[in-house]
Structure 1
Amino acid sequence: MSGLVDKIKSAAKGPIKEGGKINTKVLLKEHNPEQGTVDLDNLSGRNLIVGVPGAFTPPCSSHVPGYVTNASAFIEKGVENIYIVTINDTFTTNAWREKLGASNESKVHFLSDDTGAFTKSLGLDFDATGLLGGVRSQRYVLIVEGGIVKKAFVESHAPDITVTSADNVLKAL
């Protein structure tokens, strides 16, 4: 019954909109697989939150490198940090970060939303059971300033990388 209630609440709330406050009350995991330590609700300055359906998937593995290789260009445009959020465990998320060669990029953070609670609270989840085994994140990028979403880019279909491409988001800054 509670699963049905959660679905109804999520559907009624809808996805976060431009002008909305990030208020998830969820701590995400960056390095510690047992405890979340990263709070994206109260970020100061301008930051990017990049949501992806799954680490190691071909579309995500071609999408995220644009943010890693262009990190300095984003910083030059006033972005303080880039947070890549995926619904995977911390071990998988960190292995993916290593595989993508992003381990030395201090401004790009790979975060595990292992329960999907952060993504669900934003209203940006979808049922990917047939392909990825459960609920996953839509592909999105949020430009957040002082906890408020200033610009939201959300793909219509999870495999697409058009509005959320690093080049497109860079142009919008």
Structure 2
Amino acid sequence: MTIKVGDRIPDVTLYVMSDQGPQAVKTGEFFKGKKVALFALPGAFTPTCSAKHLPGFVEKYGDLKAKGVDQVACLSVNDAFVMGAWGKQQNAGDKVEMLADGSGEFTKAIGMEFDLSARGLGVRSQRYSMLVDDGVVKSLNLEKPGAFEVSDASTLLGQL
């Protein structure tokens, strides 16, 4: 079942890259008491994700913060090493937390898995954005496969 507005984010473990290597992040703690702009995408270093999706959130970071967002986070079914390298390459810096869902545990728990095995990519995340307030989904923008029309930073900004 796909997560929907009003649902609570499941408590699973994701990873972020730090100077000491991959660090575990429990979603229950990450989302607790914060307003988070979360967006997910099929894969780091992929064309639309690298040219539009992540750069849009980096660019709109200040606007999102001004509207009350405490944290901006990017999630993908990639490992922490890949997400860390991609964040550096994209100049995400301290603006966007790069969350690695390497085994797809979070993605499967919210019903957002997308099987791209036929293209040699395995099971990935669908493209979406959501506003999560203290662990509860307040808005959700799910893309149709192959589209990039509603999960962008400007759309989420307009919902604040």
Shift of 1:137: 0.1
User: TM-score, normalized by length of structure 2?
Assistant: 0.91
Structure 2 partner of 1:160: 147
Superimposed CA distance per residue, residues 62-90 of structure 1 (whole angstroms, 9 cap, x where no aligned partner): 21100001101000000000110011111
Structure 2 partner of 1:118: 106
Is structure 2 residue 16 aligned with structure 1 residue 27? no
> Tell me, which stretches of 5 or more residues in structure 2 are unaligned?
none
Q: Which has the higher strand share?
A: 2
Q: Name the SS of the counterpart of 1:142 in structure 2.
A: strand
2:15, 2:101 within 8 Å by CA — same for their partners in 1? yes
Structure 2 partner of 1:96: 86
Shift of 1:39: 2.3
Shift of 1:35: 5.4
Structure 2 partner of 1:136: 124
Structure 2 partner of 1:4: none
Q: Aligned ranges for residues 4-83 of structure 1 at < 5 Å?
A: 14-23=1-10, 25-31=11-17, 36-42=23-29, 43=31, 44-61=33-50, 62-83=52-73
Q: 1:26 to 1:36 in 2, by over 3 A?
A: farther
Q: 1:53 to 1:134 in 2, by over 3 A?
A: same
Q: CA RMSD in A?
A: 1.6
Identity of aligned residues (%): 35
Shift of 1:161: 1.2
Letter in structure 1 aligned against 2:126: Q
Equivalenced residues, count: 156
1:27, 1:36 within 8 Å by CA — same for their partners in 2? no
